[in-house]
Amino acid sequence: MCSSQVSVARREAALLVVDLQHDFLPGGSLAVTEGDAIVAPIAKLMNRDLFGVVAATQDWHPRDHASFASNHPGRRPLETVELFGYRQMLWPEHCVAGSAGAALHPGLPWERVALVIRKGMEREYDSYSAFRSNLGPDGTRKTTGLAGYLRERAVSGVFLCGLARDYCVRWSAEDAAQAGFRAFVLWDLTRPVDPGSDSAVRDALAQAGVAVVFSEQLRAAS
């Protein structure tokens, strides 16, 4: 437990809720262990009126998406393949556009969300981050427009929660910091695909300039 507090100036702060969708929760095709444990605390945080902007992401894949193991004959989920110069993890089919598994969890107050970024819609390449896609065939990472949206709203700090800690949350936090925002991962409001990755994720976030904090530390700026 952490006792030091993190001051949140509402006008300058955004909460980013990452991929709280049925397929990443228990019973889903790519379930994250204890993913459902963060739903109620995130709902409570969203209702605290700490943030000037609340945004969310939603994986939204075509059925023939390049990250699905089923689209690589002879390959199994959690194997990797070479894709545009990087190692692409192959996943079970998940969050197929329009499917029940792709739906956002109904237990969150989505009426408080100003913007939902759908990602992973291109067949040829994956997209973990809320801010940019993974590398595509032209060797670039395409932006989602989220950074510009937040700047137009005068946001300077981004607080991230959701799933999964070692993939979409991590990549989104790193890109937030690279885009010039103060980035904070709400560690207790995330869960990883691989629990053994926690030490490496913490190191990577620190190297990127991302702070790891806990929801209990948040307080409104006086």
Cα–Cα–Cα angle for 11, 108, 176, nearest 5°? 45
pLDDT value, residue 2: 59
Please report which confidence band the pLDDT of residue 3 belongs to, taking 50, 70 and 90 as the band edges: low
- Distance separating alpha carbons of residues 142 and 69, to the nearest angstrom: 23
- Distance separating alpha carbons of residues 43 and 39, to the nearest angstrom: 6
Active-site annotation holder among 23, 36, 119, 166: 119
Known catalytic membership, residue 95: no
pLDDT value, residue 221: 84
Whether the CB-CB separation of 195 and 220 falls below 8 Å is answered with: no
pTM exceeds 0.75 for this model: yes
Half-sphere exposure of 52 (CA within 13 A, CB side): 17
- Rounded to the nearest integer, the mean pLDDT of the chain is 95
* Mean per-residue pLDDT, 197-203: 97
* Token pair 């991590």 in the structure block, residue: 170
Known catalytic membership, residue 188: no
pLDDT value, residue 100: 98
* Mean per-residue pLDDT, 176-184: 98
Ordered by where they begin, the domains of the chain are: 6-61+94-220 (3.40.50.850)
Residue 80 dihedral angles phi and psi, to the nearest 5°: -120, 155
Whether 222 has a pLDDT exceeding 80, the answer reads: no
* Mean per-residue pLDDT, 92-99: 98
Active-site annotation holder among 59, 168, 175, 188: 168
Q: How far is CA 211 from CA 4, 80, 181, 189, in A?
A: 13, 29, 11, 14
Active-site annotation holder among 19, 126, 175, 188: 19
Known catalytic membership, residue 23: no
Q: Which range among 69-73, 81-85, 177-181 shows the weakest confidence by mean pLDDT?
A: 81-85
> In 3-state terms, what secondary structure has residue 1?
coil
DSSP 177-200: HHTT-EEEEEEEEEE-SSGGGHHH
Q: What is the pLDDT of residues 133-168, one digit of tens each?
A: 999 999 999 999 999 999 999 999 999 999 999 999
* Mean per-residue pLDDT, 155-182: 98
Whether 24 has a pLDDT exceeding 80, the answer reads: yes
State the burial class of residue 73 (Cβ atoms within 10 Å of its Cβ: 0-12, 13-18, 19+).
exposed
